[in-house]
Amino acid sequence: MEVLTVDKLKALLNTPDQRNYADFRDYVIMNVLIDTMARINEVLSLKISDVDLTNRTITLRPEMVKTRKGRFLNISKLTARLLRELLTEVAEFESEYIFLANYGEPLAPNHFRHRLAKYTKVAGIKKKVHPHLFRHTAATLFLENGGDIRSLQIFLDIVTCA
């Protein structure tokens, strides 16, 4: 399984210009992908009501999950702060979705993939970086930092919770 090294992941995260709305939004998406190990379609389908910033959790509703089984995911303090900032930015659009294109419509996965390819080039990363690579990288880092395989399977929604 191909993953990003920690150095390449850091280089990629340092590429978006966080003073620019679209780049900041993409930076937040990358952080959510890393924290939750969710799929890009799941992240881009998030609605404001799916996020609890106080408890730092994200709810993936069954209708947005590939396996059709919803789940709750924890996010870091940093990601919660970034989401709070992004929600302030997108409030003017009055959309129920979090990740919006410049004109207020929900961001399409292919649009993010295209932008990710540009960040990859700027970061000097030679391999093809795609959104699912964040899932593989986060899963590998979880195991390398002492996480157990059973918990990882549950996070990744590979097995059902008992």
Tens digit of each residue's pLDDT (9 = 90 or more) over 4-24 = 999 999 999 999 999 999 999
Give the model's pLDDT for residue 159. 46
Q: How confident is the model at residue 62 (pLDDT cuts 50, 70, 90)?
A: confident
CA dihedral in degrees (4, 5, 10, 13; nearest 10)?
0
Residue found under tokens 């870091």 = 76
- What span, in angstroms and rounded, lies between the C-alpha atoms of 41 and 39? 6
- Percentage of the chain surpassing pLDDT 90? 76
Q: How confident is the model at residue 161 (pLDDT cuts 50, 70, 90)?
A: very low
Tell me: the pLDDT tens digits for 148-159? 888 777 777 654
- What span, in angstroms and rounded, lies between the C-alpha atoms of 41 and 48? 15
Mean pLDDT of 43-53: 97
Give the model's pLDDT for residue 162. 39
Tell me: the pLDDT tens digits for 93-150? 999 999 999 999 999 999 999 999 999 999 999 999 999 999 999 989 888 888 888 8
- Percentage of the chain surpassing pLDDT 70? 96
Using CB atoms within 10 A of its CB, is residue 76 exposed (0-12), middle (13-18) or buried (19+)?
Answer: middle
Domain ranges of the chain: 6-155
Q: Write b or e for each residue in 92-123: b if 16 or more Cβ atoms lie within 10 A of its Cβ, otherwise e.
A: eeeeebbbbeeeeebbeeebbeebbeebbeeb
Q: Are 45 and 64 in contact (CB under 8 A)?
A: yes
Give the model's pLDDT for residue 129. 96
What sections of the chain are H helices per DSSP? 6-13, 21-36, 40-44, 77-90, 109-122, 131-144, 149-155
CATH number of this structure's domain 6-155: 1.10.443.10
Q: 10 Å Cβ neighbour count for 151?
A: 11
